[in-house]
Structure 1
Amino acid sequence: MSTTTPKKTDTGQEVSAPPLAVSPPKVRRRAWATIVGAGALVVGALIGLFVWMAASTTQQVLVAATDLDKYHVITVGDLRVVPVTLDASVASVSSTEAATLIGQRLASAVPEGSVLAPADVSKEQFPPSGRTVVQVAFNAQQAAGVTFQPGDDVRVVVAPPTATDAEPTFSAGEIAAVHTSTSGAVVDVLVPHADAVDLSVAIANGRASIVHDAGPVLSSDDTDPRGPADKGGED
């Protein structure tokens, strides 16, 4: 706002002085500070949300403390508890269920550090229905060449009891366990229940051997496309 003060001249006339200009108050704008502050709030909120989501999805699960074979009986030392963040589609076993797994058998091999899934633990009896475990022993020299692993498909081949023209017979089997010691090795083989007695007698008489096949094992009633001259050999 401006004011004028009348002045008198030498002749006595009043002359108005020009108004004084008054500058309006200056408003100091800090838009950049406002933007930075708002950005910091947003970033802080996002970090807090991320931390909350990570914490809310972290689970205490069981993992294999070492390489575990198929059919292995679970012990306390086989399991470790690890906090992990898993996708909802990944099956796992909670650490609270550890006690219920002790003494159960694995339905599949579990590598060291892998998260244990419910499907890895067998809910069936052992041996499975319709199958029997027979044992084949190897002395120390023979055991040095044994490379069987639980879960391998094999054939237990039986030589005829006498030197005749009869062809050897075999039964399809699966390795259940391999027990090694300084004196040799004993291999547990799952075979059809109906073949167990004859195989046990042949094993006891030294007429049985285990053949390790690369592909699916045919039953003794099926035709072997390779023919009798190429039925494999011992591992």
Structure 2
Amino acid sequence: MTTSTRDATVDREPGTGTPPASPPKLRRRPGMTVIGIVAVCLGAVVAGWTWTATSSSEQVLVARTTIERGSVIEKGDLTTARISSDPALSPVSSDEFEAVVGQRATVDIAAGTALTPDSYSAASLPSDGESVVGIALTPAQSPGIALSSGDHVRVIVTPGQDGDLPGGTPLYSEAEVVAVHVDEATGGTVVDLLVKHEEAAVLAARIATGHVALVLDSRDR
């Protein structure tokens, strides 16, 4: 009887007569665990996408305005843009900005188009074996369509005051438009034409008579 009473006393807290309380059990919440894992995965995906997007793009030169073939590229014609890198493309880096300014466009470059090494050249006009001849035109001597650099044209001899054609058949000179501008003094249109060196004198003589007309040929090239 005495032994049983002693054992019961040992199992109780001193001074209380009651057994010790068990520690509370933590309740697991599987839903929150899944949400945490998903959030970590999404963060990793976003970080990876951001790194890929920034590391696989480059800053390149882009035409701010349309640059016509044959015209000199000026600072105001260019801007920069960041595009995705593509092994199939060869855009000009924005680091070449100063080097490109002053070059001559070899093709028509539409506004918003990235420049490539083939879209401009340091070659000057006229080159060896070529000449540039200017012609002032009235509305009756030129086509109604606006002329652009690179257009292929013919300067055709028209009848004189007596209505006869020299030699009885129309004569003409083939040329390529280099530039078009307005003469501030007269308000007339002046077209600079690129021709072969040996044809420049003949064309200039025909233009001097005033009996010529400029014809626009196919723009396919």
Q: 1:138 to 1:215 in 2, by over 3 A?
A: closer
- Which stretches in structure 2 are left out of the alignment for 5+ residues? 5-23
Q: Note if contact 1:142-1:184 (Cα within 8 Å) is conserved in structure 2.
A: no
Tell me how many residue pairs correspond in the alignment.
194
Identity of aligned residues (%): 36
Q: With the length of structure 1 as denominator, give the TM-score of the two structures.
A: 0.71
**Which structure dedicates a bigger proportion of its chain to helix?**
2
Task: List aligned pairs for 1:122-201, cutoff 5 A.
Answer: 122-139=121-138, 145=144, 147-159=146-158, 163-182=165-184, 183-201=187-205
Map of 2:10 onto structure 1:
none
Q: 1:215 to 1:110 in 2, by over 3 A?
A: closer
Q: Note if contact 1:143-1:185 (Cα within 8 Å) is conserved in structure 2.
A: no
Q: Note if contact 1:134-1:191 (Cα within 8 Å) is conserved in structure 2.
A: yes
Deviation track 1:98-148 (CA, whole Å, cap 9, x = no partner) reads 111121100011122221222111243322443321111124776794621
Map of 1:65 onto structure 2:
64
Pairing 1:211–2:210 present: no
Shift of 1:198: 0.4
- Which stretches in structure 1 are left out of the alignment for 5+ residues? 6-24, 218-235
Letter in 2 for 1:67: T
Q: 1:150 to 1:163 in 2, by over 3 A?
A: closer
Q: 1:151 to 1:163 in 2, by over 3 A?
A: closer
Q: 1:164 to 1:63 in 2, by over 3 A?
A: closer
* RMSD of aligned Cα (Å): 2.9
Letter in 1 for 2:105: L
Map of 2:15 onto structure 1:
none
Q: Note if contact 2:151-2:219 (Cα within 8 Å) is conserved in structure 1.
A: no
Distance 1:66 1:216 in 2: 22
Q: RCO greater where, 1 or 2, for CA within 8 Å and sep 6 or more? A: 2
Q: With the length of structure 2 as denominator, give the TM-score of the two structures.
A: 0.75
SS state of the match for residue 104, structure 2? coil
Letter in 1 for 2:199: D
Q: 1:216 to 1:116 in 2, by over 3 A?
A: closer
Distance 2:141 2:166 in 1: 27
